[in-house]
Amino acid sequence: MPSPTDQRPAALETLRRVFGYDAFRGFQQEVIAHLTAGGDALVLMPTGGGKSLCYQIPALLRDGVAVVVSPLIALMQDQVDALTAVGVRAGFLNSTLDLDARRAVERAFVAGDLDLLYLAPEALGTRGVQQLLDQGNISLFAIDEAHCVSQWGHDFRPDYLTLSVLHERWPGVPRIALTATATSATRAEISTRLQLTSARHFVASFDRPNIQYRIVPKREPKRQLLALLRDEHPGDAGIIYCLSRATVEKTAEFLVDNGIAALPYHAGLDAATRARHQQRFLREDGLVMVATIAFGMGIDKPDVRFVAHLDLPKSVEGYYQETGRAGRDGLPSTAWLAYGLTDVVQQRRLIDTSEGDLAHRRNLAAHLEAMLALCETVRCRRVQLLDYFGETATACGNCDTCLQPPESWDGTIAAQKLLSTVYRLDRERHQRFGTGHCVDILLGRATDKVQQHRHDSLTVFGIGTELSEAEWRGVVRQLLAEGLLAVEGDYGTLALTDTSAEVLGRRRTVMLRREPARTARPAKPRGA
């Protein structure tokens, strides 16, 4: 086996001759040398870091055909076309091919007339594909989006579990697993499940200094969004993520009505429309894509200037992956998220009603809590984000909390007032009292509902006039984020938790983040 250093000139020559680039980025060259020499590798690189070349160049340098496992069936054709355009022999096998096309690819594989063969993970579990692979000469296995193997990750795909077959059936073939998102726990899980225990780890920094992170309280989300687009990103390409198809449609319409070139994208649109919108977004300048998270994986558009979230993402991993689609060209870009009380209520409800066992729901809740902690932090957003992925960083000076450090205030008394109100209402459990009703009581508003239930006679009635309604909502949101308060049922009824007693019993101080003033907006995004 050649030593890794022997391959370096050949790798650089291939990079220049085939791909037309001058130099390697980051640790591409080290990964390529290691894999080409027959070693296993686990590669963590942010989106746009250049993972593909890490296996494409070894595929050209080693004998045989490289087998690439990718869940992105919709993108296989594009990937193969891009390789074919530079003279690399590539093919794919997936459910979109007709029988003749399939047979042709299979023949090319067996004859060794391919450099790379792309497969969907589910294919590897089938006897037919396994027998086909036995007949050819495999140079390496590349497992893209490897975090999908993690049951506790945010994007689990059961088909990935069958990928342990690669090592069992073809033990001598080197393997490379690649992902743009993994905490250290997920990384460990990838190693065990894919039997990559002796693989060398290549972990790039996840820092994206050209992205300005901002998380704002959600007030009138569409108006806030419009202001962001008009004031800071006129004519820019960007992606706006929404949770539901309906919000996607409504938001896209709203933007178009306001003179912004926007397109919707979600799984409810037919395949042709989705493909057309995706192509337009990639090819035309300054289009805004309003989408569910169905959009974006594998999208390589360098000049996405902003990624906006109108709903709270379910996990920090998801959020980081989605915002990472901004600014791949290294120029200043914005990651903007509007987040409010209803997001917390909605996400908690989704978790409570989700299928799966208790362990699964706890896992979802833990992901949500990390996301909420990011929203409510008084630290630098970037420090908090990188910390989550196991990296240490210094305050960036560019995110909203660095530019306008949020004040914190002692909210213990406010928290006690709120929790006492919830406690009083809790005695009437069969009733449905959400946040609005609680706040009405605290503010001493004798609404119809308050009078009907005689809540104006409660001792807590009118004890909270020192705060505004918006401030009370902020208190509720932050207590929910900290787990000092819970929501239950379809109507978002507030309820006490095990830790609420610590606050009510004055054994715990509660520091809260002061809501930024309505008009405040940080300076324009800056470069690195």
Residues at the contact surface with ligand ADP, assessed by CB under 6 A:
21, 24-25, 28, 45, 47-53, 300
Q: Which residues of 434-473 are buried (b: 16+ CB within 10 A; e: fewer)?
A: bbbbbbbbbbebeeeebeebebeebebbebbeebeeebbb
Give a three-class secondary structure readout of 329-391: CCCCEEEEEEECHHHHHHHHHHHHCCCCCHHHHHHHHHHHHHHHHHHHCCCCHHHHHHHHCCC
Neighbour-count burial of 178, counting CB atoms closer than 10 A to its CB (0-12 exposed, 13-18 middle, 19+ buried): buried
Q: Nearest distance from residue 370's CB to ligand ADP, in Å? A: 23
In the structure encoding, which two tokens stand for residue 289, read together? 């894509």
Beta carbon nearer to ligand ADP, 47 or 401: 47
Beta carbon nearer to ligand ADP, 24 or 319: 24
Neighbouring-strand partners of residue 334: 212, 306
Beta carbon nearer to ligand ADP, 25 or 167: 25
Beta carbon nearer to ligand ADP, 45 or 486: 45
Beta carbon nearer to ligand ADP, 20 or 505: 20
Nearest residue to ligand ADP by CB is 50
Beta carbon nearer to ligand ADP, 53 or 182: 53
Task: Spell out the residues 6+ positions from residue 334 whose beta carbon is closer than 8 angstroms to its own.
Answer: 211, 212, 214, 228, 232, 233, 305, 306, 307, 308, 326, 525
Q: How many residues in the chain?
A: 528
Residue in this structure with the two tokens 């210094």, named with its chain if needed: 394
Q: How far apart are the first and last CA of the chain?
A: 42
Number of neighbours of residue 282 by Cβ within 10 angstroms: 14
Rounded Cα distance between 442 and 419, Å, is 11
Q: Nearest distance from residue 45's CB to ligand ADP, in Å? A: 5
Please choose, from the candidates 317, 315, 49, 38, the residue with its C-alpha nearest in 3D space to the C-alpha of residue 202.
49
Residue 239: C-alpha distances to residues 171, 245, 265, 277, 334 (Å)? 42, 15, 10, 12, 11
Residue 498: C-alpha distances to residues 133, 461, 484 (Å)? 55, 25, 8
Beta carbon nearer to ligand ADP, 291 or 341: 291
Number of neighbours of residue 262 by Cβ within 10 angstroms: 20
Beta carbon nearer to ligand ADP, 49 or 327: 49
Beta carbon nearer to ligand ADP, 42 or 216: 42
Q: Nearest distance from residue 56's CB to ligand ADP, in Å? A: 8
Q: Nearest distance from residue 179's CB to ligand ADP, in Å? A: 9
Q: Nearest distance from residue 274's CB to ligand ADP, in Å? A: 20
Beta carbon nearer to ligand ADP, 43 or 425: 43
Residue 264: phi and psi, rounded to 5, are -90, 155
Give the strand pairing for 408-410 and 175-179: unpaired
Please choose, from the candidates 162, 91, 510, 183, the residue with its C-alpha nearest in 3D space to the C-alpha of residue 367.
183
Beta carbon nearer to ligand ADP, 211 or 415: 211
Element holding 55 (H helix, E strand): helix 52-61
Q: Nearest distance from residue 492's CB to ligand ADP, in Å? A: 38
